[in-house]
Structure 1
Amino acid sequence: MDLAGKKSYKRGEETYQLSLSYRGGSLARRGGDRVPDGPLTLAGGTRARMFDLLRGPHFTLLSPGPAPRVPGGPAVRAYAPAEPYGGERHTLVRPDGYVGVSTSSNEELAAYLAMV
């Protein structure tokens, strides 16, 4: 009981669901983990926070190149990160903040976007 005489509840990891994983799920190809928040540097030196980039009902692509155009595919916002997500890998984050696919193949990325 708290000071007002009401029953209090402790919220743990299960309530916040921050350790939830979708690895091996049908919408997670080489992905399935929640993307952590934190600072990152985009190409050109712009600084941002990961959760600010993810905010909204869209897929977020962290990639050295533009998102492939998929007719009828989902809305995708693309960013070219310098660090810590730099390199030749494409990481597509679903609207729920989980990695849908992480690949170095443009074809695999386009196939995933066509599937969703």
Structure 2
Amino acid sequence: MLDSYEAERRPIAAGVLALSNTRLQQVLERNDVATRRDASITQLAIHYRGSSLVRDDRDETALLRAGDRAPDATKLTTVEGERRLFELTRGGRFTLLSFGPAPAIGASASDLRTLHVVVQPAGPDDIADPAGHLAHAYGATERTLVLIRPDGYIALISDAGDASAVSDHLAAFR
């Protein structure tokens, strides 16, 4: 994954530099320009859609696509109590959200944590989404698989529940 860093980040860095130059020029030309913090300044709008490092089987009209920042969800229930998704995806490894049956992921998944979205959590990797926040944020169906990269961006979304796509994607980074 580190080998691909430049391919994804160089266009983002160029965009940030261009934005900085534009904002500086605006301030220099007009002393009364109020600078505000918006998505372009906080970089929350950055995405990697179209990168060679992301895959999904969704069409172009989907609100959430591979390459987007993974949305957080609150009030998830685990056997340890209430948690946020961002708490559960910490740790510098890939996380797979499974909204349906547990997928069989190959041996390439040693650095993978799989979180099963279930009605009632029974094990340490089960999470319940009683208010539907997680399913809504991810536009998930009962078969959806979402692979979240260690940097918090979505590597892969399969609404078809294609576990082999997850295995193949992980194998590409080994």
**TM-score, structure 1 normalization:** 0.75
8 A Cα contact 2:68 2:153, kept in partner? yes
Aligned counterparts, 1:10-49, within 5 A? 11-30=37-56, 31-41=66-76, 47-49=82-84
Greater gyration radius: 2
Does 2:96 align with 1:70?
no
Count the aligned residue pairs.
107
Superposition deviation, residue 69 in structure 1: 3.0
Which residue does the alignment assign to 1:91?
146
Superposition deviation, residue 13 in structure 1: 2.5
Report sequence identity in percent.
34
Superposition deviation, residue 91 in structure 1: 0.5
Q: Distance in 2 between matches of 1:67 and 1:40?
A: 27
Match of 1:79 among 106, 115, 119: 115
Which residue does the alignment assign to 2:87?
52
Which ranges in structure 2 are unaligned for 5 or more consecutive residues? 1-34, 57-65, 119-128, 136-140
Q: Relative to total residues, which structure has the larger strand share, 1 or 2?
A: 1
Residues 27-46 of structure 1 show CA distances to partners (whole Å, capped at 9, x for unaligned) of 11021111122215357795
8 A Cα contact 1:61 1:67, kept in partner? no
8 A Cα contact 1:42 1:79, kept in partner? no
Which residue does the alignment assign to 1:5?
none
Q: Distance in 2 between matches of 1:78 and 1:87?
A: 16
Q: Distance in 1 between matches of 2:169 and 2:67?
A: 13
8 A Cα contact 1:41 1:81, kept in partner? no
Q: Distance in 2 between matches of 1:100 and 1:74?
A: 17
Q: Distance in 2 between matches of 1:58 and 1:77?
A: 7
Q: Distance in 2 between matches of 1:11 and 1:102?
A: 30
Residues 32-90 of structure 1 show CA distances to partners (whole Å, capped at 9, x for unaligned) of 1111222153577953201101212111110141561334x561111112433362211
Runs of 4 or more, structure 1, over 3 Å off, are 9-12, 40-47
Structure 1 window deviating more from structure 2 (26-35 vs 11-20): it is: 11-20
